[in-house]
Chain A
Amino acid sequence: SQTIHQWPATLVQPVGSPLSLECTVEGTSNPNLYWYRQAAGRGLQLLFYSVGIGQISSEVPQNLSASRPQDRQFILSSKKLLLSDSGFYLCAWSRPLPGQGTDTQYFGPGTRLTVL
């Protein structure tokens, strides 16, 4: 079966510090991978998605970047955190789909980031 991991579970960082959040998936190959941010009362905002190694699509211009150095590893980064980067970050995966296909996304446990 497939499993998705995220770490760390919680993180408190000062403004201006760097950020690296990691997501890994087990039990599947060539998954689509996604990073979401969830702010209180605002639902889920898709930040980045990737359909393959080194292929990153950004949905919202912002202070963050994403990378996919390996097939089942997805990293969310920032060089200098802002207060507005605080939130709950969720990673998700889905099976690879051609073209315009739609399928279930499966979510990790999330990382709570607080920027002070």
Chain B
Amino acid sequence: AQSVTQPDIHITVSEGASLELRCNYSYGATPYLFWYVQSPGQGLQLLLKYFSGDTLVQGIKGFEAEFKRSQSSFNLRKPSVHWSDAAEYFCAVGATGGGNKLTFGTGTQLKVEL
């Protein structure tokens, strides 16, 4: 069965600093990968997704992610973090078994210091 690991539960960065959030997946075939962001008390918003093609994917709010098959990773990056980026970030992989199910990681809570 597929799985997603986000090894960092909490990350703190200074405003203006670069950011990288880690995501590792386990999946037998070519994965469909997603990054979502959740502000406190809100639903999840899609940042970006990878289905095929160029392994560097651009998303909203200045985020990008790179798919590395050899490392089973799909890390999220942003060159300069803004205070409004403070939120929880979830990585997800498309699951097998039909129904368009997704398997989510446990999330990384990002804190931005001013």
Taken together as a complex, chains A and B put the C-alpha atoms of A86 and B48 apart, in Å, by 30
Contacts A100-B98, A105-B102 given; 11 further ones with Cβ under 8 A?
A41-B9, A43-B90, A46-B101, A90-B43, A97-B100, A100-B96, A102-B32, A102-B95, A102-B102, A107-B45, A110-B42
Give the number of residues in A that approach B within 8 Å (Cβ atoms): 29
| Bitwise interface map of A from 34 to 58 toward B, beta carbon under 8 Å scored 1, else 0 | 1000000111101001010000010
Q: A94-B100, A103-B100 are in contact. Are A43 and B107 (CB under 8 A)?
A: yes
| CB-based contact B99/A107 at 8 Å | no
Q: Chain A residues near B94 (CB, 8 Å)?
A: 102
Total number of residue pairs linking A and B with CB closer than 8 Å: 58
| CB-based contact A107/B100 at 8 Å | no
| CB-based contact A43/B104 at 8 Å | yes
Q: What residues make up the interface of B, taking CB atoms closer than 8 Å to A?
A: 9, 32, 34, 36, 41-46, 49, 51, 90, 94-102, 104-107
- The 10 A-B pairs of least Cβ separation, nearest first, read A102-B94, A107-B43, A43-B106, A102-B32, A107-B44, A44-B104, A109-B43, A94-B100, A97-B100, A49-B99
A-B contact pairs, 11 of them (CB 8 A): A41-B9, A43-B105, A46-B102, A49-B101, A88-B41, A100-B96, A101-B100, A102-B102, A104-B49, A107-B43, A110-B43
Q: Chain B residues near A94 (CB, 8 Å)?
A: 100
**A108 interface residue per 8 A CB criterion:** yes
**A67 interface residue per 8 A CB criterion:** no
Look across to chain A and name the residue whose beta carbon is closest to the beta carbon of B29: A100
Q: Chain A residues near B104 (CB, 8 Å)?
A: 43-44
